[in-house]
Amino acid sequence: MSRKNRVPLADRVARAAEAALAAQHFVSAIDILVGIGWLDSGAVERWRRGQTDCLEEVVQVNLPRISEAMRLFGSWAIAKGLFPSPTAYVGRTPGRPTLRFSRGGNPAIEASYRTHWVSPELSEKKRERLAETASRAPELVVIQPLNTEWVCNRCGGTGDLLMMETPGPACLRCVGLDDLEYLPAGDALLTRRAKSKSSRYAVVVRFSRTRRRYERQGLLVEPQALADAQQNLEAP
């Protein structure tokens, strides 16, 4: 038995919770599962992109253990006097689906997973702002592939940009983003204005082999939003 396993689960949950609370003023079920080492952040990212049916599927322990950890987390949060804050979890895909945590999909269990516990030290206003940010739908991410020999999993076509789906890459026409216009990064003000005027947009990233991570290249925005933003900036 490893040394880690001898630490009681309640202590491991409390330690993960304290760390998340100190870092961000709230704690989520995902913070706990990642913090105690049962879930890796790569799996969370795949789940957010809709590549996994539910989160429990990628947690590395069985259901009774997960339930036990979640029960301990709930008791810890209540004992600490944290405020429960129901949070929306929306997928990072154009359909904006509500993400599922549990295999069974029981509403009460889903609700407990979606509850963020917020520090009582924050003012009511700050708590509200935090809740708003946490529930915001994540940005859509479009990839500029390094390998240009890719094939769309839906239509067999290809293109300069793709979006990752569970079965594989998809072209922008198939995901319904092909009407958007590319705005390269560089002009921060124009980017911010165009984004705020565009009801649909996606972030364009490319993998950097040297830095070993995805880097922002620019934004896809509605052509009208871009034209309006440009015109506003040119106006005296």
> By the criterion CB under 5 A, which residues form the site for Zn ion?
152, 154-155, 157, 171, 174
Least distance to Zn ion from the beta carbon of 207, Å? 21
Q: Which of 104, 228, 191, 234 is nearest to 220 (CA)?
A: 191
Between 25 and 154, whose beta carbon lies closer to Zn ion?
Answer: 154
The contacts found for 207-213 with CB under 8 angstroms, 24 or more apart, are 207/143, 207/146, 209/146
Least distance to Zn ion from the beta carbon of 194, Å? 26
Between 35 and 169, whose beta carbon lies closer to Zn ion?
Answer: 169
Least distance to Zn ion from the beta carbon of 94, Å? 13
Between 152 and 164, whose beta carbon lies closer to Zn ion?
Answer: 152
Least distance to Zn ion from the beta carbon of 167, Å? 12
SS3 string, 116-174, reads: EEECCCCCHHHHHHHHHHHHCCCCEEEECCCCCCCCCCCCCCCCCCEEEECCEEEEHHH
Between 130 and 174, whose beta carbon lies closer to Zn ion?
Answer: 174
Angstrom distance (rounded) from CA 153 to CA 162: 10
